[in-house]
Amino acid sequence: MSFNERSPLIPFDDDEEDISFLQKAFTIICFVIALAIVVLMFISPHDIAYRDLPNDISSVPYQYLLSHKSFLHFGYLVETLPVEFNGDDQPEYVLLAEIVSVSSSWTLGNYEVLEYRQNITYDDLFPVKTAVSSLSFWMNDVHISFKRDPFNYTSKDSELFDLIIPELCDYKITWNWIFNGNIFRRCELANETSYYLISHVDGSTAWGLKFYNDNGDVYASTSETQYWWNMNRRDVKVEPFAPFPPIMPAIYTAYYDTIQRNHESRRH
């Protein structure tokens, strides 16, 4: 007598299928994110439209608004509120300057400051270059040089010689182990050959920065950032007696974010 034996059925769990699908989806998402990061690292963020611009002296005011340029670019906008009302077509903010990356990749920290001037003849704005800066890869030191080409400020015959004009000096930013900063200054007009400490910086770009001296006098401050959909806009206030140009907190912010971003990429 023959028997047709059937193998016992193995129960199939729908939960295992769901877990397998989630694992595959998570793997694909991680791969796409990693690929996007690699692509961004090797794509130059520099816009060729910013090349060969005229130089000028920085004239950013003591109070302004600082925000990210967009969700995809690591640039910054320096803006202010309109002085007068010109109708419904008036923008909410007036653009004063931009901090643009001129690095060969997003992981490097070379920035230029472009400020906008009014063209009286054509009633429009045109950009000028007022500062250049670079980041030391190993030490994370930042070197900033303000443009002084329009005039021969280095001439010893100039009436301005031996004066300290913050907009005509060179600066260096260093960081300590808890990521607070120090700002150093060197002025050729004052016949300075070395950098001198002029300000300490505490805080973070998200919760606010404070620039101050050894006596506790506050030179400048930035507010807590607004929400991400508002481009992390924040208020910047610089005192008239500050030993650096008003644009300095914006440059410091750009490098603080750049170094933090580089640290995060190295961890992953």
Q: Which of 201, 147, 140 is nearest to 169 (CA)?
A: 147
Q: Establish if 13 belongs to a structural domain.
A: no
Is residue 92 within 8 A of residue 86, CB to CB? The reply is no
CATH number of the domain enclosing 70: 2.40.160.200
Is residue 253 within 8 A of residue 205, CB to CB? The reply is yes
Q: Establish if 5 belongs to a structural domain.
A: no
pLDDT for residue 158? 52
Q: Establish if 3 belongs to a structural domain.
A: no
Mean pLDDT, contiguous 10-residue spans, the chain (268 residues): 52 57 72 61 49 88 94 84 67 90 72 90 85 87 82 50 82 94 92 94 96 97 87 95 97 93 70
Segments forming the whole domain that contains residue 213:
41-267
Q: Establish if 33 belongs to a structural domain.
A: no
Q: What is the pLDDT of residues 61-95, one digit of tens each?
A: 999 999 998 876 678 999 998 866 666 666 778 99
Q: Establish if 26 belongs to a structural domain.
A: no
The rounded mean pLDDT for the chain is 81
Looking at the 3D structure of the chain, how many domains does it have?
1
Is residue 236 within 8 A of residue 249, CB to CB? The reply is yes
Compute the distance between CA of residue 65 and CA of residue 67 in angstroms, rounded to an integer: 7
Compute the distance between CA of residue 205 and CA of residue 268 in angstroms, rounded to an integer: 22
